Amino acid sequence: MVNESKDISTEEKILEAARKVFIRKGMTGARMQEIADAAGINKAMLHYYFRNKELLFETIFTQAAQKLFPKLNLIFESDLPLFEKIESFVASYMDVMMENPYLPMFVLGEMNQNPERFYKKMKNEMNFPKPDKFLAQIEQEVKKGTIKRINPLQLLMNIISGTIFPFIAKPMFQMHIGVNESQFHQFLLQRKKEYAAFIIDAIRK
């Protein structure tokens, strides 16, 4: 039992160190030696727990997805009014992305390289969100006349893309506009509050 606890502690230490390195360097720029140094272990020990960087990154992604996806499913399946669902969706999504800002680029890369394998893994292992009830609710609100006529899938795409894009565009904001790390963090906190309001104002009748 002592060894098992020690193993769990070491693994968590590695994962926490890897998150910090991935935040600074991204998936491509991160190095296993740097992660080992940040975790206070040697590289051989790191490889004992995670044989390569890709497996380590996938483990972190899975943990983040297992944290985010159930929240999104609860929102989708709830009886909340549509506008409250949009607010909750944006807040939950951005909270997890702010903790793991390197994930959107990882997801895009995986989807482009092997979309079938990636989707199958998410669907089978991570309780992938099911937006059917949310999409039906949008259609109902359109019919009731409470929101403008819009294709439910288009609205869902607008919500998701607007929450993900800032993380993908971060280098552009930092290099071209001159936004530093602290300013970008404040921008994300502001966007978490304002983007849902922007979407709601755009569809409200």
> pLDDT tens for residues 94-149?
998 888 887 787 777 777 777 787 777 776 666 788 899 999 999 999 999 999 99
Q: Which whole number is the average pLDDT over 155-178?
A: 89
Q: Which whole number is the average pLDDT over 48-77?
A: 87
Handedness of CA 21, 27, 28, 34 (dihedral sign): positive
Q: Which whole number is the average pLDDT over 82-89?
A: 96
Please give the residue that has the higher pLDDT: either 27 or 97.
97
Q: How far are the Cα atoms of 69, 119, 144, 154, 204 from residue 133, in angstroms, in the given order?
A: 15, 21, 16, 15, 20
Please give the residue that has the higher pLDDT: either 167 or 117.
167
Structurally, at CATH architecture level, domain 1-51 sits in Orthogonal Bundle (1.10)
Distance CA 92, CA 175 (A): 28
Q: Which of 147, 161, 149 is nearest to 195 (CA)?
A: 161
Share of the chain above pLDDT 90, in %: 49
Structurally, at CATH architecture level, domain 60-203 sits in Orthogonal Bundle (1.10)
With a cut of 50, say whether residue 1 has pLDDT above it.
Answer: no
| 1-51 and 60-203 share one fold | no
Q: Which long-range contacts (CB under 8 A, 24 or more apart) does 57-61 make?
A: 57/18, 57/22, 57/27, 57/30, 57/106, 59/15, 60/15, 60/18, 60/19, 60/22, 60/100, 61/100, 61/103, 61/106, 61/107
The full set of domain ranges for the chain reads: 1-51, 60-203
pLDDT at residue number 134: 97
Where does the pLDDT of residue 4 fall: very low under 50, low under 70, confident under 90, or very high at 90 and above? Answer: very low
Q: Is 40 helix (H, G, I), strand (E, B) or coil?
A: coil
With a cut of 70, say whether residue 3 has pLDDT above it.
Answer: no
With a cut of 50, say whether residue 5 has pLDDT above it.
Answer: no
pLDDT at residue number 100: 81
Q: Look at 10-19, 29-38, 61-70 and tell me which has the smallest mean pLDDT.
A: 61-70
